[in-house]
Amino acid sequence: MNEQSRKNAIGSRYLSFILDDEEYCIEIQQVREIKALPEITPVPQTPEYIRGVINLRGKIIPIVDLRMRFGFPHKEYNARTSVIIVEYEYEKDITLIGLIVDVTNEVLYLDQENINSVPYINEKINEDFIDGMTNIGERVIIKLNIHSILSATEMKALHSTANEEA
Amino acid sequence: MGNGVPIKRLDDLALSFNNCLDGDMVQALNIQEAIEEIYPITETSIEGNCLAMLHVILDYVFDGYNLEDMMEEVNQLFEILIYLNDNELSDPIISDEKAVIATLSKKHTDFPEKLDDYISKLEKGTDAKEAELKVPEINKPDFIDDLDSHLENETFHIFMNDTLERLLQIEELVLRLEGNETPDPEDLNHIFRIFHTIKGEAGFFGAKELMNFAHEIESNLDGLRKKHTGIDKHLSDELFDAKDIIETYIHLLQDREIEKLRNYCFTEDCVKLAKLNNPESHDDTVPNIEESETTESEYVEETEDIDADKTPLTGNADKQTVTNRATRGKPKKDEFIRVRASHIAELNDRIQELWITENQLEGEFLRDVKKITKEVQYLAMKLRTGSLRKLEPRLQRIVRDVGYKTNRDVQLSFVGEDIEVDRNLIEALEEPLLHIVRNSIDHGIEDPAERERQGKPKTGSITISSSRKGSRIQLTIKDDGRGLQVSKIKARALERGIITKEIADKMNKEEAFQLIFEPGFSTASQVSDLSGRGVGMDVVRDMAEQNNGRILIESEEGKHSTIHFSFPLNTAILEGMVVQYDANHFVIPVNEVVECIEVTSKIMRSVKHELPVINLRDKFIPVLRIGDLFGEKVEKAMRRSAVILNSHNKMYALLVDKIIQKNEVAIKPLSKQFRHIRGLSSATIFSGGKIGFVIDTEELIRASLTKARIKQEEA
């Protein structure tokens, strides 16, 4: 493989996972680790989909239930439920956040060209959350934009609703 | 509202822009000149910003970009200006302005910076702020004469060490910029800021020569950084030389080399000599130290010769001094070393875990081990913290400069315990504190004559005090000036369109004070001469929020203005009462706890529509519920225990399931995403890995009282 194609290969590796029987993926570069679901300590005054915090080797990090974030009904956690620990930038700091998914799948290599724009899914899944869609054989995989899902404005806007409901 | 830039002038400008579009570049120059003329008469910062943006757009045109590509933004800016001519400031207009900035930033990544720089330049022209103060000739004792007394000053040592650290940073930055095709403009800015800081701090200690030298370099860099070029070898050589010169000077200060200091020359001719003087230099021309055989007495004679000479030190005398310095056995100084902050953070985390886990273990055998680990834990904590006094030199400098400029005599003092505070917090506090102090002198403290008339001492005073209360750090800045005038604040806010008359009339004193924090409240973007970025009270509030802190303003007209900051402890070991509530553990700082009791239905009392209370030995104490934090409307279960708290001399009863034990816990800050949460100040990890939260008693009380008040109003 020459330099350019190797670069492309690295840039286009994704971790795929399942949410409510749909397959999604995110760029592998942002993924720190994958864990089985540990004990969650709930945090008050946060939206429903922020389940609380967990202890990751001495670091306290927030946990987001992606199903609930996307408006799907809450499903009981079982032995297959996983947490994907993701790195992202929040106010110039690199922070960690955990995403609860039904089950993690595999690492995929996707070509940039195959990612097409996506039709409307539901009103909870903001257009910004989705970078595109691709096919592998029969499978349809939706590429998520982690950054917008976790962006500050989203958090702030939702926290004020949480406070009003409280 | 409703004046702003006259319509006629806007029309002229618009016409000129159209001519530019047709290719008439002379018009572009005319527009820029007109903008510089009009800027001072703008009434709101938005108008000023729009004009500045138009100016910067034309800069791009001069740089070769196509005006057509930016015409849409130009039109939008004119729309905003025309709208503001007739109407009040409003949210939609503010977002329009922001939208234009965003689009332009997308088209040109350096747009925000160019804009800030230009606005800064405009501000310097229109408002004689203390941006570049001419340093007055004050009859200060010679800096070198005073060196001994400086060397006894802890802050002077910190200044020297900080400067050395900063010089190392310069090296790093210059290396990064040198020959880099895509230099990061922030790096050059950073170098500029470092020289600016060195200049300021040197000035504070009266080190005039060092200050002037740093000032020269800073001025040279100022022009360069605005051009956003990288740096060529010539400049990087100069910067390295400058770094070496200052570094050697600092070493001489530390080693108290009085004679050499007197003769120290800061010009470039001496650079090579500076390298010779510096024993750490790897320059080949350094004479071989071992070969010298002179004794101490000979050295003394040599120095007298040099004294008479008053020329830069030459090679020979060096040899002796270098040797003798080594043999004279100078007292060892406590060195500073540079380490990565992340390494310290990791070390801290591990030590905390170790300590937490160990606490769980029992046994006499472990007693000594536990003692040692606890001490290690304290030491690790100290690595992450520093003293607020570190900011004193810069603050004192501002006091001196602004006081001089305004002809007011002001004294700044630090009182209270010198508490250890997380280093990040100190850094975050620096600019806001400078701003607050500057404001106090500029707007708060009165002229000596007026103060005398009011029976106040001629010298105004600003007091900064810090203390640790429970799980929080309190920081207070108080000036004994004219205080905040509510009517004036309301008037200004009305003028700036921040509030309407109805709201203004209903506002009480405290609410009016909060208006100061609204962006747009202060006169057209106040810009710090340092970073070119705005520093206003809104930025101060942002800083507080970003550090999970709170601000409170107190003031009495004619008497004082006080700003209270309250920050949660980020790095500390807290002694607390650990309690259980449902499946969670919470911690209450022990100094707020009075006692713990069992709760039976007998002592619970509920008065209709009021907060429930507990009868404690015939005193009725209001009840607090942790459930209130979670927005629980009704108590889910009967709580069997209560912790009696004392907050501001009032008692409260906090209902819990179980009181576990008194414990020392290591505090971890809450993630930034949880900054808005009211009632919890920080988090901790117990042995076994369970996460618990530290309760912010004041907030919990406030929340409960508000809830009760709402209930009453609904009833």
How far is it, in rounded angstroms, from Cα B309 to Cα B161?
31
How far is it, in rounded angstroms, from Cα B425 to Cα B544?
9
Furthest CA-CA distance within chain A: 57
Q: Is B31 exposed, middle or buried (0-12, 13-18, 19+ CB in 10 A)?
A: buried
Model ipTM value? 0.81
Joined together, the tokens standing for residue A165 give 């409901």
User: Is any Cβ of chain B less than 8 angstroms from the Cβ of A166?
Assistant: yes
Q: Is B554 exposed, middle or buried (0-12, 13-18, 19+ CB in 10 A)?
A: middle
**Model's pTM, two decimal places?**
0.55
**What are the phi and psi torsion angles at B556 (to 5°)?**
-130, 125
Pairing mode of beta strands B641-647, B385-387: unpaired
Contacts of B32-35 with CB under 8 Å at 24 or more apart are B32/B58, B34/B9
Structural Rg of chain B based on CA atoms: 31
Residues in chain B within 8 Å Cβ distance of A53: 671, 683, 691
* Interface mutation target, options A59, A60, A150, chain B, most CBs of B under 10 Å: A60
Are B680 and A44 an interchain contact pair (Cβ–Cβ within 8 Å)? yes
Which candidate from B672, B680, B689 shows the least CB-CB separation from A95? Answer: B672
Residues in chain A within 8 Å Cβ distance of B670: 60
- From the first residue on, what is the mean pLDDT of each consecutive set of 10 residues in chain B (715 residues)? 65 82 75 83 82 90 84 89 82 86 88 86 58 41 79 82 87 78 79 86 84 85 70 80 89 86 70 45 36 35 36 39 39 65 80 75 77 82 80 80 83 85 85 88 88 91 88 90 87 82 84 83 48 63 83 90 88 83 91 87 70 82 85 77 87 91 83 80 84 89 77 66
CA distance B216 to chain A (A): 32
* Interface mutation target, options B543, B691, B699, chain A, most CBs of A under 10 Å: B691
User: Is any Cβ of chain B less than 8 angstroms from the Cβ of A62?
Assistant: yes
CA distance A161 to chain B (A): 12
With a cut of 70, list the residues of chain A below it in pLDDT: 1-11, 90-92, 112-127, 151-166
How far is it, in rounded angstroms, from Cα B457 to Cα B451?
7
Which candidate from B353, B630, B671 shows the least CB-CB separation from A95? Answer: B671
Which candidate from A44, A58, A163 shows the least CB-CB separation from B352? Answer: A58
Residues in chain A within 8 Å Cβ distance of B629: 44-45
| Interface A:B, Cβ pairs < 8 A | 70
User: Is any Cβ of chain B less than 8 angstroms from the Cβ of A56?
Assistant: no
Contact predicate A146/A26, CB 8 Å: yes
Are B691 and A42 an interchain contact pair (Cβ–Cβ within 8 Å)? no
pLDDT, position B586:
94
Are B631 and A45 an interchain contact pair (Cβ–Cβ within 8 Å)? yes
Are A43 and B352 an interchain contact pair (Cβ–Cβ within 8 Å)? no
Chain B positions with Cβ closer than 8 Å to A: 349-350, 352-353, 546, 584, 629-631, 668, 670-674, 676-680, 683, 685, 689-693
Read off the DSSP letter of residue B527: B
Joined together, the tokens standing for residue A86 give 């993701």
Residue B147, CA atoms < 13 Å, CB-side half-sphere: 17
User: Is any Cβ of chain B less than 8 angstroms from the Cβ of A90?
Assistant: yes
- Number of CB atoms found within 10 A of residue B465's CB: 16
pLDDT, position B532:
35
How far is it, in rounded angstroms, from Cα A115 to Cα A136?
11
Residue type, B47: E
Strands of the sheet containing B650-656, edge to edge, are B593-598, B641-647, B650-656, B619-625, B613-616, B604-605
The CA-atom distances, in angstroms, between B659 and each of A37, B470, B603 are 29, 19, 18
User: Is any Cβ of chain B less than 8 angstroms from the Cβ of A161?
Assistant: no
Joined together, the tokens standing for residue B579 give 């309690």
Which candidate from A39, A58, A156 shows the least CB-CB separation from B349? Answer: A58
CA distance A87 to chain B (A): 14
pLDDT, position B279:
40
Which candidate from B349, B353, B674 shows the least CB-CB separation from A43? Answer: B674
pLDDT, position B179:
65
Which candidate from A43, A60, A93 shows the least CB-CB separation from B668? Answer: A60
Contact predicate B398/B437, CB 8 Å: yes
Which candidate from A42, A61, A159 shows the least CB-CB separation from B671? Answer: A61
E strand or H helix that includes residue B29: helix B25-38
Residues in chain A within 8 Å Cβ distance of B671: 53, 60-62, 95
Selection from A129, A157, A161, A113 nearest residue A26 by Cα = A129
Are B673 and A45 an interchain contact pair (Cβ–Cβ within 8 Å)? no
**What are the phi and psi torsion angles at A45 (to 5°)?**
55, 40
E strand or H helix that includes residue B661: strand B658-668
Are B631 and A58 an interchain contact pair (Cβ–Cβ within 8 Å)? no
Residue A9, CA atoms < 13 Å, CB-side half-sphere: 6
CA distance A124 to chain B (A): 21
How far is it, in rounded angstroms, from Cα B542 to Cα B537?
9
pLDDT, position B575:
84
CA distance A140 to chain B (A): 33
Joined together, the tokens standing for residue B44 give 């709101």
User: Is any Cβ of chain B less than 8 angstroms from the Cβ of A158?
Assistant: no
Which candidate from B671, B676, B679 shows the least CB-CB separation from A159? Answer: B676
Residues in chain B within 8 Å Cβ distance of A87: none
Strand partners, A60: A55
